[in-house]
Amino acid sequence: MAGPEATEKDKQQVVLIADADRALAQILAATLAREGVQIALAHDGYRALELAGTLHPSVLISEVVLPGKSGFEVCAALKRDPATASIRIIILTSRADLRGRMASVTAGADVYLTKPFSPVYLVTLVNEILAGRTVGPPSRWPPPSAAHADQWLIYAYELKELVTQQRATRKALEEAQKRLERLNKLQMEFVGVLSHELLTPFGAVGLALEVLQQQSRELSPEYRQAVDNLSTEIAALHRMINGVVKFAELLHKRREPELAFHQLDQVIPPAVEPVAVLAQARGVDFRCLVPSSLPPVFADRSLLSEAVFQMAHNAVKFNKPGGRAWVRAFQEDGWLVIEVKDTGIGLTPDRLALLGQPFEQAADSLRRGREGLGVGWAFVGYVARVHSGRTSVESPGPGKGSTFRLLLPIVTDTK
């Protein structure tokens, strides 16, 4: 029966590899595992110290550059502790200068191995250390030409596997990118075809509506009001479809902004004019307060007008008869602020979280069950980004109204 000495002798020895380069660590582990030793891996200095204290490896192979603690710091800490001072340490580094070697010796390392190195050197070093022999600098070990062919084959196999994995990963990423590009192209083509099919009938509808409006002068006030309401609804529908198209173009960067200086008192009132008509029909008190003394804004007029319209339109359509909504512009801390407030249905914290996501829309009982597309505030957010601006929204809660802000930087020099 084997005694305690035989049991200790037959016990499998542990080699701890500490390297932030996970691929290299795996290659070293696979190579040394074929030598019949147990392998443990660490990818930062703190983990290397922890494993060294619990596993008490026979050999530590450590890269100099490690997250947390360097290889030199790990080496010095282990050598200071009587419980781990007997661990033999091989330091790996890409620096071959004298300063690095002196730091390695000072920290207490047994060997300072410079990259690139032959795996045969490392395997031989580990075997010599495990056999209890004294080791010296790498120059003592045989040159690569003296290495056994099977050791080189093992290393070549591991490198081949690594290269194969890298190629497969790169190919998968390239295929994913191509699929994404195809999906984006199909999406834009779909939006283009859909918008064309939806916008085409408006030409004929507009002509018919113009004739109807001319003839309605001879009709009763009720019929004239019905024609006016129809005209307002068709204009709103046309604008909604145009908004979706602009949103898609902006989202996919198909439309470059046409930037120029504009006065807000010449941009905002025309943009919210249709909203004023809607507010009157709904019985909502709507005001627009834009002083002419504000500095000009450097922006795309079309995009800015659409963003302001969306903000004001939401303030009215999510309001109630007798409610109030107003648009105002002012200067604040280097920003031009376009603010829309309302006394409408307000927003819950959950709705605030979803507000910036396109096609997220709450049921609107105030609009007799009709649903919007939910792109309004998302569109405003994209317009803000195009102009290096930002947005904010606040609401005390359901039934307490909301405050929406679009902030654009004040630009004095476009060079």
Q: Please give the pLDDT value at position 326.
A: 94
**391 lies in a domain?**
yes
pLDDT at 355: 66
**46 is in which domain, residue-wise?**
11-147
Predicted TM-score of the model (pTM): 0.47
Classify residue 240: in a domain, yes or no.
no
Rounded (10°) angle between helices 264-271 and 273-282? 40
Within a domain: residue 203? no
Q: Is residue 158 part of a domain?
A: no
Within a domain: residue 75? yes
135 and 269 share one domain: no
Looking at residue 150, its pLDDT comes to 47
**Strand locations in 186-334, DSSP E?**
259-262, 285-289, 297-300, 324-332
Digitized pLDDT (tens) for each residue of the chain, 415 residues in all: 444 443 444 456 899 999 888 887 888 888 787 777 889 999 998 999 999 999 999 999 988 888 888 888 888 889 888 999 889 988 887 766 666 666 667 777 888 877 777 777 778 888 888 888 766 544 433 444 444 444 455 555 555 666 677 778 888 888 888 888 888 777 777 766 766 777 777 777 777 777 777 777 777 788 777 877 777 777 767 766 766 666 666 655 556 778 899 999 999 999 999 889 888 888 999 999 999 999 999 999 988 998 999 899 889 988 888 999 999 999 998 899 999 999 988 888 777 766 655 444 433 433 333 344 456 787 888 889 889 999 998 988 888 889 999 999 998 866 5
Q: Do 137 and 277 fall into the same domain?
A: no
Per-residue model confidence (pLDDT) at position 166: 74
What span, in angstroms and rounded, lies between the C-alpha atoms of 385 and 380? 9
Q: What is the CATH number of the domain that holds 370?
A: 3.30.565.10
Q: How much is the pLDDT for 364?
A: 40
Residue 23 is predicted with a pLDDT of: 80
Is 167 contained in some domain?
no
Predicted confidence at residue 132, as pLDDT, reads 81
The residue among 101, 132, 147 that closes a domain is 147
Please provide the DSSP assignment of 29-69 as one string: HHHHHTTT-EEEEESSHHHHHHHHHHH--SEEEEES--SSS
Sign of the dihedral through C-alpha 343, 347, 348, 349: negative
User: 393 in a domain, yes or no?
Assistant: yes
CA dist., res. 13 & res. 37, Å (int): 5
Domain-located, residue 371: yes
Same domain, 265 and 408: yes
Q: Which residue has the tokens 């709705």?
A: 351
Domain C-terminal end among 114, 147, 180: 147
What CATH number has the domain bearing residue 91?
A: 3.40.50.2300
Last residue of a domain, one of 95, 116, 147: 147
Give me the number of domains the chain comprises. Answer: 2
Distances (CA, A) of 171 to 55, 162, 165, 167, 177: 40, 14, 10, 6, 10
